[in-house]
A and B are shown apart, each in its own frame.
Chain A
Amino acid sequence: MTAAESHRAGTFATKSGEPRRHHDVGGLAAGPVDTSTHDLDEWEKRTDALVYLLSARKAIRVDELRRAIESLGPAEYADATYYHRWLHALTRLLLEKGVLTVSGLANELARLNAHDRE
Chain B
Amino acid sequence: MNTPHAHQPRTAEAGILQDNPDYLALAVRNLVVASGLISDDEFENAVALRVPGIPPAAHVVLKAWRDPDFKARLLDDPHGACAEAGYPVPTTAPRVGFFANTPDIHHVVVCTLCSCHSRPLLGVPPAWYKTHEYRARTVREPRAVLADFGTTIPDHVTVRVHDASADLRYLVLPLAPADLATSSDADLLQRITAESLFGVRHVDGCSDH
- Interface of A with B (CB < 8 Å)? 23-50, 52-54, 56-57, 59, 62, 66, 69, 82-84, 87-88, 90-91, 94, 99-100, 104-105, 108-113, 115-117
Q: How far is the CA of A31 from the CA of B24 in the complex (A)?
A: 31
Residues of A close to B37: CB separation below 8 A: 54, 57, 59, 99
Residues of B close to A26: CB separation below 8 A: 110, 112-113, 135-136, 139-140, 163
Q: Pull 11 A–B residue pairs with CB atoms less than 8 Å apart, ordered by A.
A: A23-B113, A27-B140, A37-B128, A38-B127, A42-B22, A44-B25, A46-B25, A49-B46, A49-B47, A53-B43, A59-B37
Smallest distance from the beta carbon of A25 to chain B beta carbons, Å? Answer: 4
Smallest distance from the beta carbon of B126 to chain A beta carbons, Å? Answer: 5
Does A117 contact B12, Cβ atoms closer than 8 Å? yes
| Count of residues in B whose CB is under 8 Å from the partner chain | 56
Residues of A close to B190: CB separation below 8 A: none
Number of A-B contacts (CB under 8 A): 161
Does A109 contact B43, Cβ atoms closer than 8 Å? no
Residues of B close to A82: CB separation below 8 A: 115, 127, 130
Residues of A close to B124: CB separation below 8 A: 40, 48
Residues of B close to A27: CB separation below 8 A: 112, 136, 139-140
Smallest distance from the beta carbon of A101 to chain B beta carbons, Å? Answer: 9
Q: Does B42 contact A (CB under 8 A)?
A: yes
Does A37 contact B28, Cβ atoms closer than 8 Å? no
Does A35 contact B148, Cβ atoms closer than 8 Å? yes
> Which of chain B's residues 2-50 have a Cβ closer than 8 Å to chain A?
7-9, 11-12, 17-18, 21-32, 35, 37-38, 42-43, 46-47, 50
Q: How far is the CA of A41 from the CA of B9 in the complex (A)?
A: 12
Smallest distance from the beta carbon of A106 to chain B beta carbons, Å? Answer: 8
Smallest Cβ-Cβ distance to A32: which chain B residue: B148
Q: How far is the CA of A62 from the CA of B114 in the complex (A)?
A: 11
